[in-house]
Amino acid sequence: MVIFTCSVQHSAVNSGQYDYGAWMPNTPISLQLPPPTTKGTTSEATMLETFPDVNVTVQGMAIMHLLSKQSTDFVPLGHYPDEHFFEKIPCKLIKEFQGDLEIQSVIIKVRNENLDVPYTYMNPTVVENSVAI
């Protein structure tokens, strides 16, 4: 569960933040007025008064971009640059795990070929081995 939470789940939640939040109305960093409580009662003028100014928006988007981009020391899921295991059984299990991840990667790539907007955030080749900020 810890491995899943610190790798795959984190990738699913974190990696798409900028893709979604780069359009500021999806995730405004602050609001200058309370949000509307009744659907369909907002005008363009009210929206412009409610959203933050350009400087605040740019700062929020910059932070979101930095937090969601791949780290410079990226290590993909299932890869271990420091060899901690030399025994036969753990090494065999690691190889099996890496093989399973390769199969999942192929399945995801094939599925994405038929999508207008591919979903890449869960592909093991782009999932970080652990949370890295």
Whole-prediction pTM value? 0.74
Tell me the per-residue pLDDT of 70-126, one tens digit each, with 9 for 90 and over: 888 889 999 988 888 889 999 999 999 999 999 999 999 999 999 999 988 999 999
Is the alpha carbon torsion for 58, 63, 64, 69 positive or negative?
A: positive
Angle at 95 between CA 89 and CA 101, to 5 degrees: 135
Nearest to residue 65, comparing CAs of 26, 25, 14, 30? 14
Rg of the Cα atoms in the chain = 20
